[in-house]
Amino acid sequence: MGTKPPEASKASGLLLAIILVGQFLAILNVNIVNVATPTIESDLHSSGAGLQMIVAGYTIVYAVLLITGARLGDLFGYRKAFLGGLAVFTVTTLAAGLAPATGSLVASRLLQGAGAAMMMPQVLTLIQRNYQGAARGRALGLWSLVVSGGIVVGQALGGILLGFGLGWRIVFLVLVPIGALLLVAGIRVLPADQGGGKTGLDPWGLVTLSAAVLLLVVPLVLGRDLGWPVWGWISMALSLAMFAAFVRIEQWVAARGGRPLVDARMLRSPGMRPGLAILLFGPATWGAFLFTSALHLQGDLHLTPLASGMMLVPCALAFGLVGLAWPRLPPRLQRPLVPFGYVVAAPAYLGLGLVAGDGGVLYAAMGALIGAGLGVQVAVTNMATEQVDGAYASDASGALLTVMQLGQVIGVSTVGTLFITLSQGGGSAASLTTAVAMAGLAVLAGLSSIFLVRRRVPIAA
């Protein structure tokens, strides 16, 4: 096959830029509102529960609908699903910025999460379908940079915008023209595709999986601030029953010749199951690290939101640089890099706990080591999906993104709760104990990665 013409290369680069900026906006919205909650409370007279839903509602809906969003792309076409999700996201971001009351702001945030859930799975699927070999590795490296950068930039950008004294609405309104421009560019550039319209949505699978995720995520997100009420524990127990029901329903759908929401044939692809385990434990450490670092730097060390966000920049840069460098390594080094990354991250978490009282260069250096270690997660994504049949690309994207999101929620709720509880007693016990917990999660991710990298991948003819 000849060399790709310059026009195609340019279009390919523009395609990647559009879908990654869309993903960046969606990830940015997870954290950009955090630093604005005091101003929102003052302006809209929001209750504690209202503030929790303003922050957490986006994440809850996003996590619940990710797999459904992936299936919508499979059904109606990845271009239509991405652009539709981007349109919903942009309009509801405008609605959030103009919201006159807490209720309307919560509703806008919920709909924002739905738009993001429709848009986000298409990014990984479009990369899988439009890039191969080294180009695919580079695209996934940029994808990892966006994932890591969006989280940290959200915290820092929120602080910068509020520093201008323009009020909380600016954290939403500044994103609206970007979304609108992206939508116009996407209509012109994104390749047309037909999707797989015959596959169906698997409504019973959708209902049971959504219920299972909702029953798990809601108490994990809200339980800490509500004092872990009894209903939360009952909800998490019911989520296990709903997950079991979901598995049985999926088996029933497959036995009748239908297309289940999560196809077991996709899960049987070599690499998917260990990849899912790694992307549960690894992001759990990442989410816990970002959450507890913000509390420690702003609460214990009294840094401003902007200063605490800047402290995390070395971590985000190291994360992204490793993701970008991985495809350029010799093939014999690429696979062993994955467990080695967690070998680096686990002791770096322990080091972070030991230097927590410093909050200066040593803290930033430990953060950079953590980011470098966790940067191998882009390799995990590539290895987990490298033998997935193209027909199940959307299923694989949705499953990986859902597990990554759940991992971050679990890390924040469990390790974050541990940090808050221990912080009430003062001293350095909170930082050190949570550092041990994060190191333990990194070890679990590293052990899971052994099952991923030991596989022999057949060489394409």
> Quick check: 197 and 75 in contact, CB under 8 A?
yes
Burial class (CB in 10 A: 0-12, 13-18, 19+), 177: exposed
Q: Tell me, what amino acid is at 229?
A: P
Token pair in block for residue 404: 């990554």
Burial letters 256-294, b for 16+ CB under 10 A, else e? eeebbbbbeebbebbbbebbbbbbbbbbbbbbbbbbbbb
DSSP-derived letter for residue 328 is: G
Alpha helices in 77-192 (DSSP H): 78-97, 102-130, 133-163, 170-173, 176-189
Q: What is the per-residue pLDDT for 157?
A: 77
Structure tokens at 89: 């996201």
CA distance 37 to 294: 14
Show Cβ contacts of residue 10 under 8 Å, excluding neighbours closer than 6 positions. none
Which distant-in-sequence residues (6+ apart) come within 8 Å of 39 by Cβ? Answer: 162, 167, 168
Q: Is residue 269 left, alpha or beta, with left meaning phi > 0 and alpha meaning psi from -120 to 50?
A: beta
Residues 191-243: tens digit of each pLDDT:
887 665 555 677 888 889 888 888 988 888 778 777 889 999 999 999 999 99
- The C-alpha atoms of residue 47 and residue 416 are separated, in whole angstroms, by 22
Q: What is the DSSP letter of 456?
A: P
The pLDDT tens digits along the chain (461 residues) read 444 444 444 457 888 999 999 999 988 887 788 777 778 888 898 876 677 788 778 888 887 888 888 888 888 888 999 999 999 999 999 999 999 999 999 999 999 999 999 998 888 888 877 887 778 777 877 887 787 667 667 767 777 777 777 788 998 999 999 999 999 999 988 888 766 555 567 788 888 988 888 898 888 877 877 788 999 999 999 999 999 999 899 888 888 877 787 777 788 777 888 889 998 999 889 888 887 887 788 778 887 767 777 787 888 788 878 877 877 788 778 788 889 999 999 999 999 988 887 767 888 899 899 989 988 887 887 788 777 776 677 777 778 878 887 888 788 778 887 887 788 765 568 888 999 999 999 999 999 999 887 755 544 43
Greatest CA separation found in the chain? Answer: 67
pTM for this one? 0.78
> What type of residue sits at position 160?
I
- 314 φ/ψ angles, rounded to the nearest 5 degrees: -60, -35
